[in-house]
């Protein structure tokens, strides 16, 4: 059962990171994010990625409280119910794993010439990282959870924050 949930978590993290990277590639150089494309190859991208991930996870948190996004609710039910984990616990676990895995991409080797090459390299590195982090994923969900009921949480308060210091910048 733990292996099945770990696979679901990996898929969710993979989709989250690929979505973030896709958006970054498409917005670099635009008026929204007027940076040169080679910025994508720099570790300083953490200053953009970290807050973007925190913002995304705060959105997940609100959606789980309100139950208003079927994709989010269905995925978190698939992850929480088999192991009887709270959604708050899983959010924290997945947030920290996402940050760790995303920050460990080797940005310097990313092919920034075109979108397809860029995303292919992101996908390749993520698959390699998941092999490395699989034991950590399993360990992080292999506990008796006593987390709080997400329906009792306040959607007006952010659950996740990230600082420059926590990103090692």
Retrieve residue 38's tokens.
């080679």
pLDDT tens digit string along 7-51?
999 999 999 999 999 999 999 988 878 889 999 999 999 999 999
pTM for the model stands at 0.91
At 164 the three-state DSSP class reads coil
d(CA 63, CA 148): 16
- Average pLDDT, integer, range 94-100: 95
Q: What is the pLDDT of residues 117-152, one digit of tens each?
A: 999 999 999 999 999 999 999 998 888 888 788 999
The domain segmentation of the chain, as residue ranges, is 2-142+152-161
What confidence category does residue 83 fall into, taking pLDDT thresholds of 50, 70 and 90? confident
Take residue 152 and report the two structure tokens written for it. 């009792």
Question: If pLDDT is split at 50, 70 and 90, which confidence band does 71 have?
Answer: very high
Tokens representing 5? Answer: 């949930």
Per residue, what are the HEC states of 11-78? HHHHHHHHHHHHHHHHHECECCECCCHHHHHCHHHHHHHHHHHHHHHHHHHHHHHHCCCHHHHHHHHH
Alpha carbons 21 and 137: distance in angstroms, whole number: 22
């Amino acid at each position: 059962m733990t292996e099945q949930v770990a696979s679901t978590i990996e898929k969710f993290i993979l989709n989250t990171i690929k979505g973030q990277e896709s958006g970054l590639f498409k917005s670099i150089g635009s008026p929204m994010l007027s940076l040169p494309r080679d910025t994508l190859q720099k570790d300083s991208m953490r200053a953009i990625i970290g807050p973007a991930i925190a913002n995304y996870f705060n959105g997940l948190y609100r959606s789980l409280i309100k139950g208003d996004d079927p994709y989010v609710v269905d995925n978190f039910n698939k992850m929480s119910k088999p192991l009887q984990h709270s959604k708050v616990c899983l959010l924290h676990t997945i947030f920290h794993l996402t940050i760790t895995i995303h920050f460990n991409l080797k940005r310097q080797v990313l092919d920034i010439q075109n979108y397809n090459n860029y995303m292919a390299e992101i996908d390749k590195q993520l698959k390699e990282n998941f092999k490395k982090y699989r034991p950590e994923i399993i360990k992080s969900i292999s506990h008796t959870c006593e987390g709080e009921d997400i329906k009792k949480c306040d959607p007006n308060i952010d659950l996740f924050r990230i600082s420059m210091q926590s990103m090692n910048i």
